Structure 1
Amino acid sequence: MNIPALSTSAFLRYFNFIVLYFVEGLPQGMIFIGIPAWLATEGKSVSEIGSFAVACSLPWTFKFVVAPLMDRYTYLPMGRKRPWVLLSHLGLILSLIGIAFVPDPLNNLQTLNIAAFILSSCGAIQDAAGDAMAVDVIPDDQQARANGYMQGSRMLGSSLALVLGSWALNQYSFKIAMLLICVLVIILTFVPLLLREKQGEKILPFTYGKSSPASAEMQISSWPVILKALFEVFSLRNSILVVLLVFITQGAYNFFEHLLPIFTVKNTGWTNVNYSQIFATADIIGGVGGIVLGGFLIEKFGKKTMINIYFGVIAGLTLTLIFIKTLWSNTMFMDGFIITYRLFNAFAKIGVFAIAMQCCSRNVSASQFTLYMTFGATGSIAGAALIGPIKDNFSWEISFLFFVGFLAVAWFILKILNIDQQIGKINDLEKKHSEKELLKTG
């Protein structure tokens, strides 16, 4: 085929990652939002829903194991990360079929949790592969805009899954809902299947093509080299601050976004369909906003400045919800709250992820970025695990106040993070490694 490779076309790079992250959002929309809202509608307890949330979040901590494997092992004739992307899509397809056939899921929560864990594991691998490919093929000057496209398209995928999945769940069955998501994943998998990383590479193992010299040069085949480089870069003060930033923010979001469907269903009279529809609308607005404005605003005004604004807006909205209880039954307010929250949440995530990508060393960029995201996933688990203990012991107002407190901690970490210093330290490490390599070859 004569389709240009990702390395030669900015348009195809953006298109490829829009599709990959849209696919990532499809199962996430159901297992992180749609199914918990459905369980709440069916009368399941907060602790039961929290257990499901933990089962969905736990696999995302395994990315710290997968990332170095992706750097160390691949099938270079098909690209450095593309084989992993395709393998993860196959896993998504099979696990969606598997969860669709869980018998009587409402009365078989243990099996549902196991199936969701497997599906989320495949989603975590797909996310790690997509992140690694992005770090490999997206130039530095396109990273902020690419992150806007990526996070926005993930939200659009999540919203589409919520609309279609929740509709099918209530009109037909759980099985039909999950199989519908599976069909969408199968169709969209043709994009990474047909787009090579580098020109001249194979589409599939049995087709014509060969390894790219550039990919072969980038490929690291030594575990000691990978591990030493990772240790050095994660020993930097600002690397630790980035870890804390993604941990706290992702934990806060997961905590709050699992409380929201329970809160709305139990306190406003909404059904899971009502909640899914408004959340999907919010994700469409947030996704489009992320694609159109997310990267642009960061490029124009700076990452830290914009994230501070986003944190402030989200905290202000939540405090309004806390202190004006009469608004809880106001449908217009709750609609506006969820939509505005998801819009600024999308912008904040774009900014934090762009910081994480910028603070990566090129020597181990894929592993380092994925490890940042793994710590974020660990934070998500912590946030999900706090749902039951906090809500069982505190009121809705105090539970939401915890979320504001988490954001305040994240704001403080962001304030003391020095991105320029991190880049300077990384450049020094890369120069040192280059000089060592020259001495070895000389």
Structure 2
Amino acid sequence: MKKKIRRIKEAQTRSLSDNSRARYFTFSALYTAQGIPEGITYFALPAWLAMNGRSALEIASLVSVMLIPWSFKIIIAPLMDRFTYLSMGRKRPWVIFGQLGLILSFLFLGMVEDPLNNLSGLMMVGFLVNFFGAFQDVATDGMAVEVIPAKEQARANGLMWGSKTVGISASLIIGTWLINNIGFSLAVSSLSIVVACIMISPIYFRERQGEKMLPWTRGKISRHSKMIQVKSWGRILKNLYRVVVLKSSLILCLGIFLLGIMFGLVDTLLPIFSIQELGWDNSHFSNILSITTVIGGVLGMLLGGYLVDYFGKIKMLSIYLIFTTSLITSFAFMTNLWSSSIVAIAFILSYYTLYTFLCIGIFASAMHLCWKTVAATQFTLYMALSNMGRAIGAGLLGVLKMHFNWEMIFICIALIPFLIIFIIQLIKFSKHRKRVKSFDTVPYTLATPPVIKN
């Protein structure tokens, strides 16, 4: 009897759905792993190429090609919802596969011969690194939606987002040091060791009790996974349509899209504004940005999720949006203080701290609205809308700059979070969850037959 109790406790300890500490640790580790390819391919590698005399056009072309795989997320997500090795869990096999792909792609990146004069080789392997980075991102988000309880989603998102920021910054700093001291090939290849260590976590912990650790070990399909697994493409599309067209989901889609426009505007504005208006050089701007984003990430990890969990998603999002509107508006009217480095740095630090807190709140809200049957696809759809908004915001800045000065542009940007404050008040989580819960008990048909009363 004691042995049986011990086995049950051990199974619960290794089950992500039953152990909150295991959830926090595993998803923090996986998000750290997501930050590694971004830190290397988006920052360390371009900086190294620039230092060695490659042109801005060449570097920009390289980065643009490496970014392409992230647009594939909306295609990858339905594949993960449709196909999996259920005896190991619904998303955990895909997470492990993505991690393995990252390890191999980093090794391949380190094997590129004469990388300074072989940009086509860097493009191809960099594309591969980011493909598996995007792949693991979708799988991790899908698994998080399915195993993290609603009451923990904000806190978990805080830890995850902070861990990713740390992963980006650490890989940028350490990767740059390694490249400069031991060479590109060894430096990049050594990152595969870090990813391999992180992969131990999703291998050791299972999604649910009784599942296999690996394909050749003992275990079985959990009743929960079997019940919610969708077995046809038509069903996935129908289920996605059912949940996305609900009022709260549509409102969140609009809010995420508008927020993405704001993020795209500010991200594109800051380097141009700081260099052309404030007179900074690109090195100074990069240093300030790195420091402020790390501080924002750590604050988000320690406070962002806790505040959303304690006070509620809509309340805290509203507060963050009010502060964001006030911050940008105030800075717009401080033109006489823009020359002060302290004021400019304080603005960037405050903005990226609020940016982190907003991302934590909006991601937690998106998770809470997801239907587990199509969680990966639905969550990825929300993120795709955010990315689309970012792209539009980045392009919109050029149009605004043609017609307005910097002060007016900041005021225009401040109107976006002000508008979102009112939009998100229409989101009703409890009503949405009740509706989604009814989907699991009432089968869906294209035409519901009439009820015949005797």
Change (3 A) 1:110 1:306: farther
Mark the runs of 5 or more structure 1 residues left unpaired by the alignment.
Answer: none
- 2:92 maps to a residue whose letter is R
Indicate yes or no: 2:414 matched with 1:404: yes
| Kept in 2: contact 1:58–1:381 (CA 8 A) | no
Unaligned 5+ segments in structure 2 are 1-6, 450-454
Q: Which segment drifts farther, 417-426 or 306-315?
A: 417-426
Q: 2: distance between equivalents of 1:119 and 1:85?
A: 15
Q: How does 1:263-274 map to 2 (within 5 A)?
A: 263-264=273-274, 267-272=278-283, 274=284
Change in Cα spacing, 1:109 to 1:416, as seen in structure 2 (3 Å) is farther
Superposed, 1:298-309 pairs within 5 Å as: 298-309=308-319
Q: 1:242 to 1:175 in 2, by over 3 A?
A: farther
**Does the CA-based 8 Å contact 1:202-1:208 persist in structure 2?**
yes
Residues 40 and 371 (structure 1 numbering): CA distance in 2 closer, same or farther, change over 3 Å? same
| Residue identity matched to 2:367 | M
Q: Is the 8 A contact 1:34 1:276 kept in 2?
A: no
Deviation at 1:368, TM superposition (A): 1.7
In structure 2, the residue matched to 1:228 is: 238
Question: Are the structure 2 counterparts of residues 19 and 258 from structure 1 closer, same or farther at C-alpha, using a change threshold of 3 Å?
Answer: farther
Q: Deviation at 1:356?
A: 0.9
The corresponding residue for 1:68 is: 78
Cα-to-partner distance string for 1:373-427 (whole Å, 9 max, x where unaligned):
2322333343455566666887655665554344345444324444444334434
Deviations 1:310-334 (A, max 9, x none): 2232333334444434555533334
1:378–1:102 CA distance, 2 compared to 1 (3 A): farther
Aligned to 1:156: 166
Q: Hey, what does 1:313 align to over in structure 2?
A: 323
Q: CA deviation at 1:103?
A: 6.8
1:27-426 aligned at under 5 Å gives the runs 27-32=37-42, 55=65, 57-99=67-109, 115-168=125-178, 178-179=188-189, 181-261=191-271, 263-264=273-274, 267-272=278-283, 274-325=284-335, 327-386=337-396, 400=410, 403-426=413-436
AA matched with 2:223: P
- Identify the residue that residue 23 of structure 1 maps to in structure 2: 33
Residues 249 and 107 (structure 1), Cα distance of their counterparts in 2 relative to 1, 3 Å cut: farther
Question: How much has 1:346 moved relative to structure 2?
Answer: 1.0
Which residue of the partner structure matches residue 7 of structure 1? 17
Shift of the 310–37 alpha-carbon distance from structure 1 to 2, 3 Å rule, reads: farther
The answer to whether the 8 Å contact 1:286/1:344 transfers is yes
Q: Aligned to 1:62, what secondary structure does the other structure show?
A: helix
Distance in 2 separating the partners of 1:92 and 1:317? 39
- Superposed displacement of residue 276, structure 1: 4.4
Letter in 2 for 1:359: L
Distance in 1, matches of 2:39 and 2:371, equals 32
Question: CA–CA distance in 2 between the matches of 1:56 and 1:104?
Answer: 19
Q: How many angstroms apart in 2 are the aligned matches of 1:151 and 1:119?
A: 20
- Residues 1:425 and 1:219: Cα distance change in structure 2 (over 3 Å): closer
Q: Tell me how far apart the structure 2 counterparts of residues 24 and 68 of structure 1 sit (CA, whole Å).
A: 20
How many angstroms does 1:40 deviate by? 8.1
What letter is aligned with 1:246?
I
How many correspondences in the alignment? Answer: 435
Normalised by the size of structure 2, how large is the TM-score? 0.81
For the pair shown, the structure with the greater C-alpha radius of gyration is 2
Shift of 1:109: 6.5
- Offset of 1:186 from its aligned partner? 2.5
Contact 1:57–1:377 (Cα < 8 Å) also in 2: no
Change (3 A) 1:217 1:423: closer
Question: Mean Cα displacement is larger for which, 222-231 or 162-171?
Answer: 162-171
| Cα displacement (A) at 1:12 | 0.5
Cα distance between partner residues in 1 of 2:62 and 2:143: 30
2:152 and 2:309 in contact (8 A); partners too = no
State the distance in 1 between where 2:63 and 2:332 align.
24
Deviates more, 1:57-66 or 1:391-400: 391-400
Greater displacement, 89-98 / 234-243: 89-98
Which sits farther off after the overlay, 397-406 or 71-80? 397-406
- 2: CA distance between counterparts of 1:296 and 1:351? 10
Residue 153 (structure 1) shift: 1.6
Please say if residues 204 and 213 of structure 2, whose CA atoms lie closer than 8 Å, have aligned partners that are also in contact.
yes
Question: Aligned partners of 1:116, 1:252: CA distance in 2, in Å?
Answer: 28
Q: Separation in 1 of the partners of 2:403 and 2:128?
A: 31
Quote how far apart the aligned CAs of 1:10 are.
1.3
TM-score, L = length of structure 1: 0.83
Q: Is the 8 A contact 2:14 2:204 kept in 1?
A: no
Q: Deviations over 1:200-222 (max 9, x none)?
A: 33332233333333322332223
Encode CA deviations 1:52-109: one digit per residue, 9 max, x unaligned: 6654554333222212211211112222111100111122223334455667777876
**Cα pair 1:162 1:276 within 8 Å, conserved:** no
Q: Distance in 2 between matches of 1:146 and 1:30?
A: 25
| Root-mean-square deviation (Å) | 3.7
Alignment-mate amino acid for residue 302 of structure 1? G
